[in-house]
Amino acid sequence: MKTPTLNHWLYGIWVALLIMIPADEAYTAEGGVVDTYKNATAPFDENTVDAALSLPIPSVLVTERYQGGRFWVETRKDKMQRFKCRQCHNNKPVKVTRAAEIAHGQIALKHGSESRPLSCYTCHKKDERDFLVTEQGTKIDMDHSYQMCGQCHFRQKKDWVGGAHGKRISYWAGQRVVKNCTGCHDPHSPRFKKRWPVIYSPPLSKSQ
């Protein structure tokens, strides 16, 4: 007969403790199986936007829905150096010479096809510069610029909603926060420039 080891003794103590705990308490007490089940199956509250995990990422709830549930997108306006636009675009006389070039001279507009290039007012609302506008005249908040991009790039938007396009910037579990379209693409020149891979892999030698 084998001599009981420390592991055997510990296992015996664990079993004894389980026997001492009333079964009904383990299931019905606060934090028990029943309580956990009720919390997990509670009705979904559309008005609750608090995250399960507190993340230091400024984000807004995405208006699009998909089978995976709700998700959030990184904000845009707080990263724009000259927002709010109406600080300058306020219908007052412009007294600065070459003001447009000074304010927006760095923008290279290369968006759209050669036969139908986009202009500033294709996306920006002419009478309310703090907003974007669709082809149908719908006003869009800049934090939700994916709505603007999706009217043309609808396939990419579908993949973005499902998680196959774009970048997730929160934890792998919990609140899903993703980058906005403009978080990766320059909205005025969205096509990525060709470049070499960041990590260069030299060809293998014949000896290898």
Least confident window among 37-46, 99-108, 141-150, 152-161:
37-46
**Is this prediction's pTM over 0.85?**
no
pLDDT above 60: residue 171: yes
pLDDT above 50: residue 44: no
pLDDT above 90: residue 129: no
Integer Cα distance of 138 and 147 in angstroms: 10
pLDDT above 60: residue 179: yes
Integer Cα distance of 187 and 117 in angstroms: 13
Residue 125: Cβ within 10 Å count:
17
pLDDT above 70: residue 202: yes
Average pLDDT over residues 130-135: 86
Integer Cα distance of 76 and 144 in angstroms: 8
Question: Which residues, listed in sequence order, are joined to residue 45 by a DSSP beta bridge?
Answer: none
Strands in the chain per DSSP E: 59-61, 72-74, 131-133, 139-141, 177-178
CA angle 46, 51, 52 (to 5 degrees): 110
Dihedral of alpha carbons 105, 110, 115, 119, sign: negative
Q: Alpha carbon of 93 to those of 90, 100, 102, 128, 204: distances in Å? A: 9, 13, 16, 17, 66
Integer Cα distance of 105 and 99 in angstroms: 9
Band the pLDDT of 110: cuts 50, 70, 90.
confident
Q: Which residues contact 57 (CB under 8 A, 6 or more apart)?
A: 74, 169, 170, 177
Integer Cα distance of 125 and 129 in angstroms: 5
